[in-house]
Amino acid sequence: MNKVELEELLNKMTLDEKVGQLVQVIGSNFLDEGNDITTGPLSDLGISEQMLYNVGSLLNVAGAENIRKIQEKYLSKNRLKIPLLFMADVINGFKLVFPIPIAQGCSWNTKVLRKCAKISAKEANLSGINVNFSPMVDLVRDARWGRVMESAGGEDVYLGKLYAKAVVEEYQKDDISKEGNLAACVKHFAAYGAVESGREYNTVDISKREFLQNYLPAYRAAIDSNCEMVMTSFNILNGLPATINKTLLNDILRKQLKFEGVVISDYGAIEETIKHGAVKDMKEATLKAIMAGVDIDMMSRAYVNNLKDLCLEDKQVEQKVNESVFRVLNLKNKLGLFENPYGNISYEKESRYIMCSQNLEKAKELTQETFVLLKNKNNILPLDKNKKIALIGPYADNKEITGSWTIYSTNEQNKTIKDIMEKTLPKENLLYAKGSEVLEKSQINSILEAWGKEKLPILENEKQQKEKLIKEAVDVSKKSDIILLAVGEHYLQSGEACSRSNIDLPSIQKDLINELEKLNKPIVMILFNGRPLSIGDIQNKVDAILDVWMPGTMGAEAIIDTIFGKSNPSGKLVMSFPQDSGQCPIYYNEYSTGRPHTYNFRYLSRYQDIPTKSLYPFGYGLSYCNFKYKNLKLDKNKINQNDTITVTLEVENQSNYEGEEVIQLYIQDLFGNVVRPIKELKAFQKVHFKANETKTIEFKIDIEMLKFYNYNLEYIAEEGEFKVFVGGNSEDVLEEKFLYGKN
């Protein structure tokens, strides 16, 4: 359809039909033929059966057969034959699950994110999905917040922009109607990653300059890449919930960022503005949301029960409704649904493409690039297959390694470390004992209760069972040369609604590690996690740490290839690991204080009980190679507004392994109109090195790298003195100074 035809369709619609287009409900209501709408889940929303066949979009239902069945049923009862939109959360994979987004970010390789997105989008699209609630581009600095797992850019602005652009472009490409493409929904607008105390759904209170400088850029990058949809966040910003925040959604999103697509609320967010205390009832919530610019109400009673009456009372509201409905119709048109309401559904292609062997092999390669080697004392890794290895730990034979956003896939298809090692090692060289559960039963039951899941039975001899598992692990380990220890947090401890005040390794696993340490045998720790963990009390008890995050479907295969040297780890952290939970939030690009902690003196910005710096800093990650940085040089010591400085250095691989290194460039503005960060990432290169190879690396510094928002919120580069740092992480760097002047 062209614009005129869409406007004609809009003019034919009744007010009920218009309101319906702005309502989103769960798609499972259409699948149950015996579903009684008066007693089913939609009755709580006040949705009648007649209105059900006016709703514009469905949430989290997929599968070619299901989608075709629902669309046929819907169109048979929809007067104007306006097709449904099918939206879903495909966060780190559809059926084939990739590493969680924070792990993908640790690849420091946009190609990794693009390839993961490409396969996920095609799987989902062949199964009937039109819109994906991804990518999440929130800046995250507090590891206590469970949703840091969804942020590929982590704590860095520059990476956040790159990754947002890459994922949106890969989902949508040049035409969202083509097979394998999805409309991207960027979330959460805005600044959701700054929730106080790292507590889910909590308050956000940051300055306007902080918002513009650090939190807005990734959203801007996604919008500049033509993302089709934006999701509002649950939090307040400047005292107003984002979902009714006209300044945020109209002035910033629509006018400043020039976003022309669809705005959707997060799940139930419009209704929740009442609990915030920002509105007195559902009618006021509806009015403020539609006038602020929220086009689609996801799973609340607001629009469906109040929007029609508001339109009849006020022509301005009706005009806003017309604008919103047109945007929804336009998105459906871009997806080609008016010509083909079933989109790119294909039973044959769905069965042939999803989980195909070619994609599984590609997933293994991509997964390997996300692992971060945190420690490798005496180069104990890679392991020798001729050594006798004791495989110990709750993740040694555990399939639950895909993360908490695995909606359309099952863990049953996954292999475990034990499965792969049994095929890799001679039988006599592999010993196994579980050692411990992931969590105490009481801890997991607390989580299950909050999730509405059935609790596990707690046995009278629970303590004896725990001691038995540890003893078995110790006995097995005594017979080995090396202990391979697979530990980590439970997959339900990270993700949405998974905030933790203490991000230590679970105590039941610490007890196991303490007993194994007494054996004085080398211990290699494989760490499974959805966030940076506080492992300061553990790191000295093991010889090596390989952080594999929640690695997805091909995680076990990728781990085995890495620990035995078939693959060389190259990942670097995108979030700092704290010394202790009490350091959170902690991030590399902090502001310097007037009393920085440079030595042990009482009246400095420090902790009494732990170091000030992170345990493992942003950008950190080891390799089986040993990279040495040297000879940092600038071709000039001053830059003007039309010029660049060329930075060169040599990086030497002092090892017999080939591998990749992420070479990072940071800049510090030494004296600014406002206090500036101690350093900021401005460029990086991921470079492949042959064994014992030395390469000359070159960067360009230009004026754009020096710009910031000053006290008056002007985005400028300020004349003065700067430092440039280059290194393998944010702390171990070479440095030089240069000047910027307009002439």
Distance CA 383, CA 252 (A): 53
Distance CA 51, CA 61 (A): 19
Q: Catalytic: 266?
A: yes
Distance CA 160, CA 229 (A): 18
> What is the DSSP code string of 477-521?
HHT-SEEEEEEE--GGGSSTT---S--BPPHHHHHHHHHHHTT--
| Look-up of token digits 């993360």 | 403
Of 428, 483, 549, the C-alpha closest to 150 is 549
Q: Which residues contact 329 (CB under 8 A, 6 or more apart)?
A: 6, 9, 10, 21, 82
Specify the amino acid at residue 163: Y
> What is the DSSP code string of 70-119?
HHHHHHHH-TT-PPPEEEE--SSBSSSBPPPHHHHHTT--HHHHHHHHHH
**Which of the following is catalytic: 138, 142, 156, 266?**
266
Distance CA 11, CA 25 (A): 24
Distance CA 162, CA 220 (A): 11
Residue 433 has φ and ψ, to the nearest 5°, of -155, 140
| Look-up of token digits 């806003």 | 320
In Å, how far are 427, 572, 633 from 649, measured between CA atoms?
48, 20, 6
Distance CA 490, CA 438 (A): 6
Of 305, 275, 365, the C-alpha closest to 45 is 305
Distance CA 589, CA 586 (A): 9
How deeply is 299 buried, as exposed, middle or buried, from its count of CB atoms within 10 A (0-12, 13-18, 19+)?
buried
Of 16, 92, 22, the C-alpha closest to 332 is 22
Residue 380: how many CB atoms within 10 A of its CB?
17
Residue 272 has φ and ψ, to the nearest 5°, of -70, -15
CB crowding 577-601: b at 16 or more within 10 Å, else e: bbbbbebbbbbbbbeeeeeeeeeee
CB-based contact 164:221 (threshold 8 Å): yes
Distance CA 400, CA 486 (A): 13
Q: Which helix (H) or strand (E) holds 36?
A: none
Q: Which helix (H) or strand (E) holds 281?
A: none
Distance CA 471, CA 582 (A): 33
Token pair listed for 198: 């790292």
> What is the DSSP code string of 138-165?
-----TTSGGGGGBSSTT-HHHHHHHHH
Q: Which residues contact 574 (CB under 8 A, 6 or more apart)?
A: 102, 105, 106, 108, 151, 152, 153, 154, 155, 156, 159, 618
Q: Which helix (H) or strand (E) holds 666?
A: strand 659-669
> Left, alpha or beta for 379 (phi > 0: left; psi -120 to 50: alpha)?
left
Catalytic residues: 266
